[in-house]
Amino acid sequence: MRPWAHLFLALALGWQLGIEAKELFVAPGGSDEQAGTIDRPLASLMKAQDLADPGDTVWIRGGTYKAKPDQIARTQRIWVYLNYFDKNGKPGQPIRYWAYRDERPVFDFSEVKPPNTRINAFQVMGSWLHFRGFEIIGTQVNFTGHGQSCNLENHGSHNLIERLSLHDSQAIGIYALAGSDNLFLNCDAFNNHDYTSEDGHGGNVDGFGCHPTKGSINNTFRGCRAWFNSDDGYDCITSREAVRFENCWAMFNGFGTKFQKLGDGNGFKVGGFGATPSQAVPKPAPRHVTEGCLAVRNRASGFYANHHLMGGDWSFNSAYRNANDFNFLMRPPDNSADIDGVGHRITGNLSYRGNRDVTKLNVDKSTLQDNAFATGMKFTDAAFESVDESLLTGPRQPDGSLPKVAFLRPVDAKLAGTAGYTAYPGSKPAAK
């Protein structure tokens, strides 16, 4: 059983055991002086946290929660936390912060601008928590030097972050720095651009950043989308443990919404430590997994090993119209110099219409199998049911899963399979 499966099992266990739990309600027109019932809702998640116990559900009613300038839960040195979640659930009894039914809550932090601070809208320190179904927008940056804000930062373990939409802010979408067995499921991060700090190009704002500390294991991103973020779509440059990316999409990163050039612009930056002093490099470096993912029209590389000191597993990924569709640049374990990538396991991947299909790869010292870019066969647009990029940012399905699209779906599956293209967005990878 995969580690994330234990998380789902534990989340379900509470219902199976018939554990007593209460419901609390939060609404834009509520008051923290009220009881927190559906008729007398609370106003804030922080008051709901005070009242919640393991196994409880905090129902968040739809509408806009416009944060006031003084709505700050905690400060610590230069950091300001607008919401600070430090109460734990328990195995089988998570505390749930869920959108109510089909309603859509929106937390707007555009008016919270304490000067010379780093602003985190949701700071998640607790474990066994489940967040689902709301939006976070407008998180600001107030440094003119090197600044960084986050829409949601996670340090807890056994957390499920599901169906969140983090957009139109100056902040990183989701930033995971510590904790184990976390699943980031069906989340969207888009239109995030720090135009305030440094040169205004937004070089610190990724859609999703995962940089867990040593011992923070089994963290997975699944079914997420990142587009028009000013830096990278997904980044694990300083991760000291392995990270998994499964069935995630990255489009148009490193660009503004009018395709003006901004930050680095990699779809999946899966690796790092290239400029780190050797004594600070984890030994061994983690081996990351990128499977069933899609990278489209990112400014730099669609899939990028980023000077990593260990090969990675890259399976059933599709890259389209990136500057480099696949870039396997590495460094040796002694971190002495850049080298063409070695030790990679590369299976069933497609590159189409990139400026370069594959670069910086030592083919003789990596394992390649069934990759379309290695067959010599050239595709045309007519080989696919659709190459309409606009389909990729469309609405999700009712259960929160990625939209069903015909993008890069082969017209002739048999011919595509002959060319090594055995998986595409929405398909299931062929068994190996």
pLDDT at residue 144 is higher than 70: yes
Other CB atoms within a 10 A radius of the CB of residue 45 amount to 25
Q: pLDDT tens across 339-374, in order?
A: 999 999 999 999 999 999 999 999 999 999 988 887
Of 28-42, 237-251, 401-415, the one with minimum mean pLDDT is 401-415
**pLDDT in the model for residue 391:** 95
Helix (H, G, I), strand (E, B) or coil at 14: helix
Residue-level pLDDT at 278: 67
* pTM of the predicted model as reported, rounded to 2 decimal places: 0.93
Task: Examine the pLDDT at 186 and tell me if it is beyond 60.
Answer: yes
- Give pLDDT tens digits for 62-94: 999 999 998 999 999 999 999 999 999 999 999
- Domains and their CATH numbers in the chain: 23-419 (2.160.20.10)
Taking the CA atoms of the chain, what radius of gyration do you get in angstroms? Answer: 22
User: Is the pLDDT confidence value at 125 over 50?
Assistant: yes
Q: Quick check: 111 pLDDT over 50?
A: yes
Residue with token string 């010599």: 376
For residues 422 and 432, give the distance between their C-alpha atoms in angstroms, rounded to a whole number: 11
Residue with tokens 């973020």: 229
Q: What is the DSSP letter of 404?
A: P
Q: Work out the mean pLDDT of the chain and round it to a whole number.
A: 91
Burial class of residue 128 (count of CB atoms within 10 Å of its CB; 0-12, 13-18, 19+):
buried
Q: How much of the chain, in percent, has pLDDT values that exceed 90?
A: 78
Give the burial class of 16: count Cβ atoms within 10 A of its Cβ; 0-12 exposed, 13-18 middle, 19 or more buried: exposed
What pLDDT does 203 receive? 82
> Which residues contact residue 161 at a Cβ distance below 8 angstroms, ignoring those fewer than 6 apart?
124, 131, 152, 154, 174, 182, 183, 184, 185, 187
Tell which wins on pLDDT, 432 or 184.
184
Would strands 63-66 and 345-347 be described as parallel, antiparallel, or unpaired? unpaired
pLDDT at residue 431 in the model: 39
